[in-house]
Amino acid sequence: MKHAVAIELIHHGQTDRLQVTAQGEYYEVAPLGYLRYIEHDEQNGETATTIRLLPDELRIQRRGAVESQLTLKPAERTAIQYRMGGLNLQLIAYTKRLEFHWTGCEGNIVCHYELWQHDERLDSIRLTLNVSLI
């Protein structure tokens, strides 16, 4: 079943903060579901974003002006592919904590993870995802 939702994504790193607000859809698919929305960037164009919500995992896939695939799972290191313009990065995410506060088709997800390239820690990030029915 599909539901119209308001989405707020806040990416808070050690030196930067990015906030994305969008309207999108939430699709109920056991055990939780997934979100779809379009990010609009005046400089780079549009990026279609899909976020798969699982009880112990968050998967974020972006296609368009930005191409990336990120899986966040507590106490695990996962590979990240990131492409934007001529930039192509291979990174690692180490998820320290993932908290779901979800009821029905809306809620809040908070994820704390570190971003690594080779043996160098690049950033410590708190990712917050707020979703509410429209």
**For position 122, what pLDDT does the model report?**
95
Tokens representing 116 are: 């690594």
Average pLDDT over residues 86-104: 93
Decide if 125 contacts 105 (C-beta within 8 A). Answer: no
Structural domains in the chain plus CATH codes: 2-133 (2.40.128.20)
Evaluate if pTM is beyond 0.85: yes
In the numeric block, the tokens 């400089």 are attached to 43
pLDDT tens per residue, range 9-67: 999 999 999 999 999 999 999 888 999 999 888 877 899 999 999 989 999 999 998 89
CA distance 117 to 104: 37
pLDDT of residue 104: 87
Are the C-beta atoms of 73 and 56 separated by less than 8 Å?
A: yes
Neighbouring C-beta atoms of residue 25, cutoff 10 Å: 15
Q: Given this model, what pLDDT does residue 130 score?
A: 98
